[in-house]
Structure 1
């Protein structure tokens, strides 16, 4: 009986003394950002579009807008925004979960056009890190360059292997 109690005490103390570590994962998602998105962000969860009071969820490529008293999630904007120019629109990057649930906060902070600046879009960027985006005009050239670089590395490695023999 003493052994059982001792075993329980040891197991319990072992469990209580273990340190728990929180792991924060931060992934770069440049390649999945829309080409109408602004440059300068390695990671984006949401864009707030204050001109139309809508959000864009980057990981799933979905628009979130308020309609008939509730938030609607779709892959495209409603017809009433068919002429909305995503390239020239103001976009606010928000890296917090479900910002539309705090819409009043974001609307009061960014709703007016007082902070509007011209934002360079990914499509118009000449920064090569954006070329991985499949919709970027330079993507195919970048892809070919990547292939050529890989071939050259393989050829160098094969040459080294021959020299070692």
Structure 2
């Protein structure tokens, strides 16, 4: 009987303790790549004018057109494998929160044509390579010019 009483008290204690447990929710908003511009922690997308494509920070993926369809890939398309993401301009899209930034592609393409440069940008990190070795945020899959220096240009708050 004493064992049954102690078991009952133990179960009651556990029930009361668990009812006071706090619930914690962790939302992962994505880690910007090292080649991304500094100062834009609230952005989800970059528009890459030279490539006419987007980069989704949350999904660590590129969004680009292929035969009229928008595709997602964790790697740059083969045609752009040698593109220098550290030196290429990134338009930060702070005003878009959906899943299809390409709905505004015609506007972005017209406003930010190939070769577009806005205010000077600094990248979050330096290009991994000779003397650096920091590959923690490298999403460019080896697309660098090999000089070991990261010197980007400008940021745009559009």
Shorter-chain TM-score: what band?
0.5 to 0.7
* 2:68 is equivalent to residue 69 of structure 1: yes
1:114-153 counterparts in 2 under 5 A?
Answer: 114-124=116-126, 134-135=136-137
Bigger relative contact order, structure 1 or 2, given CA contacts below 8 A and separation 6+?
2
TM-score in terms of structure 2 length: 0.57
Is the Cα–Cα contact under 8 Å of residues 88 and 119 in structure 1 kept in the other structure? no
Q: Which runs of 4+ in 1 moved over 4 A?
A: none
TM-score in terms of structure 1 length: 0.55
Instruction: Select the structure that is richer in helix.
Output: 1
Please give the per-residue CA displacement for 1:101-132, whole angstroms capped at 9, x wherever unaligned: 110011111115353444110004xxxxxxxx
Q: What CA distance in whole angstroms lies between the structure 1 residues aligned with 2:53 and 2:110?
A: 14
Task: Quickly say closer, same or farther: Cα 1:135–1:112, change in 2 above 3 A.
Answer: closer
Q: What CA distance in whole angstroms lies between the structure 2 residues aligned with 1:28 and 1:44?
A: 13
Q: What CA distance in whole angstroms lies between the structure 2 residues aligned with 1:114 and 1:82?
A: 20
- Give the structure 2 partner of residue 47 of structure 1: 46
Is the Cα–Cα contact under 8 Å of residues 45 and 59 in structure 1 kept in the other structure? yes
- Give the structure 1 partner of residue 150 of structure 2: none
Aligned residues: 101
Find the structure with the greater CA-based Rg.
Answer: 1
RMSD in angstroms over aligned alpha carbons? Answer: 2.4
Task: Quickly say closer, same or farther: Cα 1:28–1:82, change in 2 above 3 A.
Answer: same
Question: Any idea what SS the aligned residue of 2:108 has?
Answer: helix
Runs of at least 5 residues in structure 1 that lack an aligned partner in the other structure: 1-26, 125-133, 137-165
Q: What CA distance in whole angstroms lies between the structure 2 residues aligned with 1:106 and 1:47?
A: 11
- Give the structure 2 partner of residue 12 of structure 1: none
Q: What CA distance in whole angstroms lies between the structure 2 residues aligned with 1:79 and 1:104?
A: 23
- Give the structure 1 partner of residue 109 of structure 2: 107
- Give the structure 2 partner of residue 151 of structure 1: none
- Give the structure 2 partner of residue 130 of structure 1: none
